[in-house]
Chains A and B, each alone.
Chain A
């Protein structure tokens, strides 16, 4: 069974023109000398010819007209390359590269490779003496949650409006 499959695989590759000169010659020799190869080749060639001659499916008679009707109100969008500014992309890339380089430049000189204890972190991190309580308190949290709720309602409203428009245009078709 496996031998038959390998034979078919090579015959298909031969018919598709995917074999190099040496392999092609080997298959051609087998097709002349081996009746099993010849039979298989004839059967696959019949299928190949049939597949080439199979007709395509027909769309509706109005297909082209429908497409042309729909594009009359549309414009070809400007090419992506005209509105994607490469300088911005390179700028963002450069910023992150600089950030990584600066972090490494700060961390690597501080590494103590003689340190053996896993308990102690080998890099001394800068101390952050910052009074968070001045900014994070119940009032700011309440304001934050209210703003979140307003934003959520705003986006929900926009989403529902878009859906409504979609339904209306769907029924209008």
Chain B
């Protein structure tokens, strides 16, 4: 089985009855869907559940995918909606993590600074920690734009927002991320810039 098949070719195979071909789509997008879910929940266990549900829903509805957009955009829309429904069921805040949770995370990270553990952490871990301090919505927009390779229009489709609103929210999300990094990772940022 060729691994170079396009998404639409794999979908055509699945629709012809080749169920195993769907595994290629799962393998291709599992990290993206899992990361999106993790940005919403901040829990690996919940993110795994949301990501699995999203792939199962996508499989069941595969015949409804008309190819008018990228498969990834369609899949992320399912993942986003599944995540939001999950949070509502669990009565967790949908728009953003509450301030208390943010402060708790920050306290933990600051205690990490004191034991000099953070100095060993990579730049990527530092940015991931800063992203984790953002609201779920900000973190999702950043992930969709930078990692999932989605345009502003596509992010709008996934999150049910107007592209201009996405543009404004992306700007604000990056501003907030920059602020977090300047406040909580000042030394690390300075070290990285000097190297």
Contacts and interface: CB of A to CB of B under 8 A. Distances in A.
Given A47-B177, A68-B22, A59 B34 contact: yes
B48 interface: yes
Contact of B31 (A44, A57, A72): A57
A79 B52 contact: no
Interface residues of A, number: 37
B19 A72 contact: yes
Contacts of B171: 8-9, 12
A80 to B, nearest CB: 5
Query: Considering residues A8, A57, A74, A81, which has the most beta carbons from chain B within 10 angstroms of its beta carbon?
Result: A57
Interface in B33-71: 34-35, 38, 44, 47-48, 51-52, 55-56, 59-64
A113 to B, nearest CB: 44
Interface stretch (A27-35, A48-56, A152-160): A48-56
B142 interface: yes
Interface in A47-77: 47, 50-60, 63-64, 66-68, 70-72, 74-77
Interface of A is mostly: helix
B142 A51 contact: yes
B169 interface: no
B97 to A, nearest CB: 16
Contact of B27 (A52, A64, A74): A64
Given A67-B55, A68-B23, A54 B124 contact: yes
Contacts of B64: 77, 79-81
Nearest to B54: A67
Interface of B: 14-15, 19-20, 22-23, 26-27, 30-32, 34-35, 38, 44, 47-48, 51-52, 55-56, 59-64, 123-124, 127-128, 131, 142, 146-147, 152, 167, 171, 174-175, 177-178, 181, 193
